[in-house]
Amino acid sequence: MTTIYDCIIIGGGPAGLNAALVLGRAKRKVVIIDDGDPRNKVTHESHGYLTRDRIKPAEFRRIAYEEVLRYPTVEHMVKRVQTVDKRADHTFGVQLLDGSTLYARKLLIATGLKEAFPSLPGLQQCYGTSLFNCPFCDGWEMQHHKLAVIAGPAGVMHLTKMLYAWNRELVVFTNGLDVLDQEQLQQLEQHHIPVVSTRIAALQHLDGQLTAVELEDGTKVERSGGFIVPEFLSKADYQNSLEYEVNENGGIVTDATGMTTANGVYSAGDTTISGPSQLIIAAAAGSRTGAMIHAALMEEEWAMIN
């Protein structure tokens, strides 16, 4: 007999796990499908989550799964999703890479983000050790360093203004990109923040600890840490089959309940690309969306009883 889950959760980060916790406690039959490749795997510590500040990401996941899987109706599969389709009976079929298919009444997409970075020698070694993207996550730890602020396609002015609250030892590197207008350049000059427009050749480091930004003209600017503006992309790739709406950043559009524009499909956490990328915010969104999924299932079941 084919098992029909109440909800399939694609993604085992804080949003998916907190949704599973809420649904498990509501006696809903749930499966979490997680590829075991979290975005924060390069992070040494996670910050800003009350009672879990400075926790290692692997330990956070261990505790979370231990708590969630205490509930007998919650399952966990370390698998990769190949396709997702809505069936004629309004349930969802999730085909896994191993060829098996799971079915559910509701679907929660909580796959999170992936980051796209410029191709710079040394960047991958430094990222997560001395180079970061979120001041709320790592600004406190980097407050006494000489910081490089490395531009991406957009957002470097906003990042610089935020970092100024933590640290005044800033140098902005546009890496050859035309991302600052004349007014912004004047503002940075007024705040005594140098701007380097020459393209970056490499990030020099010792075991991931940034020591200098090397420019294409051979100049080396001493820096001991930094922040970078990556391009954030959604890891979810089911828009063609499910026909949900995405925003201008590629995030999945939802209403206040976490419902997407596709009936029965929900999204929570960083997949929506709608706010700060922090554990506590993603977990809160997952908790709320889990409750809304239960409420939707409850209403359907209530209406079936005559």
Average pLDDT over residues 205-230: 97
Q: Is the pLDDT of residue 27 over 70?
A: yes
The CA distance from 12 to 18, in Å, is 9
**Domain end point (choices 211, 228, 245):** 228
Q: Is the pLDDT of residue 91 over 70?
A: yes
**Domain end point (choices 195, 228, 261):** 228
Q: Is the pLDDT of residue 206 over 80?
A: yes
Domain co-membership, 122 together with 260: no
Domain co-membership, 138 together with 209: yes
How does the average pLDDT of the chain come out, rounded? 94
Domain co-membership, 82 together with 126: no
Domain co-membership, 109 together with 246: yes
Q: Confirm whether pTM is higher than 0.95.
A: no
Q: Where are the alpha helices (DSSP H) in 48-155?
A: 57-68, 123-126, 135-138
Give the pLDDT confidence score for residue 266 in this predicted structure.
98
Domain co-membership, 239 together with 274: yes
Q: Is the pLDDT of residue 274 over 80?
A: no
Q: Is the pLDDT of residue 40 over 70?
A: no
pLDDT digits (tens, 9 = 90+) for 224-264: 999 999 988 888 889 999 999 998 888 999 999 999 999 99
Domain co-membership, 19 together with 92: yes
Decide: 19 and 293 in contact? Cβ < 8 Å.
yes
For the ranges 63-67, 274-278, 297-301, which has the lowest average pLDDT?
274-278
Residue 108: which of 94, 95, 98, 96 has the closest Cα? 94
Q: Is the pLDDT of residue 217 over 70?
A: yes
User: How many folded domains does the chain comprise?
Assistant: 2
Domain coverage including residue 156 = 118-228
Domain co-membership, 202 together with 293: no
Domain co-membership, 179 together with 49: no
Q: Is the pLDDT of residue 280 over 90?
A: yes
**Domain end point (choices 207, 228, 249):** 228
Helix (H), strand (E), coil (C) string for 177-237? CCCCCHHHHHHHHHCCCCEECCCEEEEEEECCEEEEEEECCCCEEECCEEEECCEEEECCC
Q: Is the pLDDT of residue 39 over 90?
A: no
Cα first-last separation, the chain: 26
More confident residue, 45 or 142: 142
CATH code of 167's domain: 3.50.50.60
Domain co-membership, 152 together with 281: no
Domain co-membership, 110 together with 150: no
Share of the chain above pLDDT 70, in %: 98
Domain co-membership, 147 together with 63: no
How is the chain split among helix, strand and coil, in percent rounded to 5?
A: 30, 30, 40
Q: Which residues contact 298 (CB under 8 A, 6 or more apart)?
A: none
Beta strands in 43-169 (DSSP E): 74-78, 81-86, 92-96, 101-109, 113-116, 131-132, 147-150
Domain co-membership, 189 together with 217: yes
The CA distance from 24 to 5, in Å, is 12
Sheet with 170-173, edge to edge strand ranges: 131-132, 225-228, 147-150, 170-173, 195-196
Under the banding of pLDDT at 50, 70 and 90, the label for residue 41 is low
